[in-house]
Amino acid sequence: MDTRSELIPDPITDPAAAAPEASDVDPLVTRCVACPRLVDWREEVARTKRAAFRDQDYWGRPVPGFGPMDARILVVGLAPAAHGANRTGRMFTGDRSGDVLYRALHDVGLANQPEATSIEDGLTLHNTRITSPVHCAPPANKPTPAERDTCRPWLTRELELLRPTLRAVVVLGAFGWQAVLPALAGAWRVPRPRPKFGHLAHAELPATDGGPDLHLLGCYHVSQQNTFTGRLTPAMLREVFERAKGLSGAG
């Protein structure tokens, strides 16, 4: 079999071909091997591990979105963390960024618990789904523009499937903001000039299909760089999600 992956026996090499027909993106995206650099990195990290997790089996594959497919709110991050989601197999699970994110979601009633430690920890999201424009852990947390573009068909299809219920997208950071705009430009019209990223940036995207409009909200990323320095505080994060709740009608 022509695959570079040691972990995936039935790989998908072309998201642009596989994603548009998908009735469920999650099981397909976990088989993707389209970015050679990221396949190498995610599997190398899974092999070598961090000392604190040396007894654990790392996921080491693309990390799918998490949360119901009839969500009213979609949270868009950047990419899985090497020893967080790339280890546990669930978005923002098992690292400090996730600790901050899920506590805020719980505080505003969008998650049933504040902790996210493993896929078996019982966490569920209410009216909310979390995804990222790049589904594999990148070296130094920096995907290349080519990797972002290669991964975009998964995000585009996820948005199409969420379309009937989706009313608000919360984007964590400028990378996610730039990545999601082209993926939104189907069911919704992205204004020109494009809305600029900023914390609490808000744009309303008119629907092109006769359905409801979409609220796009910016939020600083929940990276340790932002949360440890106080650039993003728990109160600021709660404010963004309260706003998303109100705008989306997610009670």
Binding site for ligand SF4 (CB under 6 A): 15, 29, 32-35, 38-39, 62, 134-136, 147, 150-151
User: Nearer to ligand SF4 by C-beta: 153 or 218?
Assistant: 153
Contacts for 55 with CB less than 8 Å, ≥ 6 apart: none
**Beta carbons of 29 and 131 less than 8 angstroms apart:** no
Compute the least distance from the CB of residue 150 to ligand SF4, in Å: 4
**Beta carbons of 215 and 168 less than 8 angstroms apart:** yes
Q: Tell me how far CA of residue 11 lies from CA of 4, 31, 247, in angstroms.
A: 9, 5, 39
Compute the least distance from the CB of residue 149 to ligand SF4, in Å: 9
Compute the least distance from the CB of residue 39 to ligand SF4, in Å: 6
Dist CA 148 CA 130 (whole Å): 17
Contacts for 211 with CB less than 8 Å, ≥ 6 apart: 163, 164, 187
Contacts for 128 with CB less than 8 Å, ≥ 6 apart: 67, 68, 71, 72, 73, 74, 75, 105, 110, 111, 250
Q: Tell me, what DSSP letter sits at residue 139?
A: G
User: Nearer to ligand SF4 by C-beta: 60 or 98?
Assistant: 60
Compute the least distance from the CB of residue 90 to ligand SF4, in Å: 15
User: Nearer to ligand SF4 by C-beta: 37 or 238?
Assistant: 37
Compute the least distance from the CB of residue 205 to ligand SF4, in Å: 24
User: Nearer to ligand SF4 by C-beta: 150 or 226?
Assistant: 150
* DSSP H helix total and E strand total for the chain: 9, 5
Buried b / exposed e over 195-211, threshold 16 CB at 10 Å, is: bebebeeebebeeeeee
Compute the least distance from the CB of residue 148 to ligand SF4, in Å: 8
User: Nearer to ligand SF4 by C-beta: 146 or 200?
Assistant: 146
Residue 5, classed as helix, strand or coil, is: coil
Compute the least distance from the CB of residue 202 to ligand SF4, in Å: 28
User: Nearer to ligand SF4 by C-beta: 151 or 247?
Assistant: 151
The candidate with the shortest Cα–Cα distance to 57, out of 96, 12, 89, is 89
User: Nearer to ligand SF4 by C-beta: 38 or 110?
Assistant: 38
Strands 73-76 and 168-172: parallel
